[in-house]
Structure 1
Amino acid sequence: MNGICDGRVVVVTGAGRGLGRAHARAFAAAGARVVVNDLGVGLDGTPDPNSPAARVVAEIHAAGGEAIAHGADIATTAGAASLVTTALDTYGRLDTLVNNAGFLRDRMLVNLDEDDWDAVLRVHLRGHFLPLKHAAAHWRAETKAGRRPEARVINTSSGAGLLGSLGQANYSAAKAGIIALTLVAAAELHRYGIQVNAIAPAARTRMTQHTFADTMATPESGFDAMAPENVSPLVVWLGSTASAGVTGRVFETEGGRITVMEGWRPGPTADKAARWTPEEAGETARKLLEEADPPGPVYGAGS
C-alpha cells in the first residue's frame, strides 16, 4: 500500500475502537506500518476480556496493510517503553506517535471521588506523557547518532479541554493538561527533528455515543459528520513528512471542518505602575471585562 506515509512506522494508542481504530486503518491505507495499541478495557477503564487490537490488525491485514498488536498499559513506564521497543523490534524504526487512549468516569464535581479523578488523569495525561517521553528519548538518541528523524507526535485533547464540560471536571482537566504538554514538548523537542501537535476532535465513539447518538448521515448527502473516520485525514497528514514546519499547534476537527485554535493570548490590559487597592482592582477588572470577548460556553451549560 502506497501513500503519504509510505515507509513510515506509526504507533497509535487506544487503537482498538473509535478514533484510534480509524487512525490506525487510515495510516495503513496511506502506506504506514502500524503498531496498534489497546489495553482492551471497558468505557470506564475496567478490564475487557475481548481486546480489540487484534481485530484491527486483522482488518489492516485484510486490506493489504502491515500492522502488529500491542496490549500493554501505556500509562506505566514498562508499557510505554515496550510500545517503542515493539515498533523498533518489529519494523526497525519509529516515525510517528499518535496518543489517543482514554476513558471516562463522569461525575458532577461534588460527587467526583479521588479514584475517579486519578484514574482519568492517569490514562489521559500520564498515558500521553510516558509514550511521548520514551519515543522522544529514542529520537533524541537518533539525532545524537547523526540520524536526525522526521518524527511526528499527535496528541488528543478535546473541546472539554478548551472550554470545559459539565460533569467532566477530571476529563476536562486532563485534556487541558494535554494541550500544555503539547506546547512544551513542541518547544523542547524541535531540535531533535520532532514535531508535536494536538487535535481536539468531535466524533461518535464509545465515549460520545450518547452525545452524538442521533447524528448520522443525512439522506441527501450521505455524509455522516460524526463518523470518526472524518478526523483521521488530518491526523495522517500531521503524522507524515508533508506536515514539515507545523508544530506546537492545536486543531479542532469535526466532520468536514478544521479549525486552528489560537489559545490564550493577552486581551485588554491596564497597568497602574503601582499597587491597586481592592476597590480600584475591581473597578478596573470590570472595565477590562467590558472590553474583552466573552468566553465560549462550557459544554453542557448552554449558550
Structure 2
Amino acid sequence: MTKSIIYFHPLTFEQQESIRAVAPGYTLLEGNSKNPDLQQLGEAEIVIGWAKGISDTLLRPDSAFRWLQTWSAGIEKLPLERLAERGILLTNATGVHAEPISAVIFGFMLLFTRNLHIAVRNQQNRLWHSDGSESELSDKTVVIAGTGAIGSETARIAKAFRMKTIGVSRSGHPVADFDQVFTTDHIQEAVSQGDFIINSLPLTDETQHLFNASIFSAFKQGSYYINIGRGDTTNTEDLIAALHSGHLRGAGLDVFETEPLPQDHPLWAMEQVIITPHCAGVTDRYAERVVDIFIHNMKSYVETGSPSRNLIDYSRQY
C-alpha cells in the first residue's frame, strides 16, 4: 500500500513540492474538508489539518493513521482521548502565531495608552476632544500568562518600550526577556503588579475559567486585561463585573466563551472594551509557517519515527 499524506488547507505548488522533497515514498493528496473522501482518509498515514466527520475513519483499529499535524495551536476541539488511546502522534502549530498576535497585543496596549480607540470614535462624530489622560508604555509593567512563543515575543518587544516584564507559567522557569516568572499557583501575586495583564494560555482542565472574580480582584486598580489565548480561560460574567466596577479600566478581547459573540452581548456596548473577531493569529504568512513546522517534523519522522517539534503531551493537553 502506498503511504500517503493528506492536507486539508490550501498549499501553493512550491509548498507542496517542499513537502514532497522531505517525504520520499509518500504521496501528497489534498483533502476536501467539507466533503472528505473517507476511503482516501482510511489509507492516510499522516494528516495535516482536521475536518468534521473523519474521526471514526481515521481512528478505527486497522487504519494506517499515525500522525496528525494540526493547522492551529489550539487542540481542545480534537478527540484527544481517542487520539491518545490509539497512540497517534499529535503536533500543533505553536510558533506560527507569535509575530501577528504580539502585534495585536501591542495594538491593544497602544490604543488604550494613547486613547486611540476613543479618538477613532470621536472622528466618526467629528468631535475634536482629548481629556488629557493619554499615557505611555515606558515604565509600565506587563504580566504575561503563558511564556511560550507568543509570550516570549511579547516580552521581547516590551523591552523595546522599556517595560517591566513578568511571566506566569506552570513551571516558573526563567525565560529570556522576562524580569521575573511566577508559577501558576502564584498568579494572584503576579497580576497584582501589572498595568497590563496578557492572557496567552491554552485551554486545559487547569486553565478553564482561571481568570475569574478572584483573580480579577487581585488586579491592580485601573489595569487592563487582554485575552488572545482561549475564550474559556475567562469567566465572562466576572470580567464584565470587574469592568463595570471600574476595577479594570479596559479590556482587549480577541477570543470569547461563545463565538461568534452574540449581537446582543453586553461587551459590544462597553466603550472601554476593544473587540476583534478571533483574528489575532491571522496572517498572509500562516500557511508558510505551518509548512515550515511540518517539514522540520517530517524530516524527524522519517529519520526517527517521531516528529520532534510541538509534540503534544496528552496528559498536559498541550
Whose relative contact order is higher, 1 or 2, with alpha carbons under 8 Å and at least 6 apart? Answer: 1
- Pick the structure with more helix per residue: 1
TM-score, normalising length: structure 1:
0.34
Which of the pair has more CA radius of gyration? 2
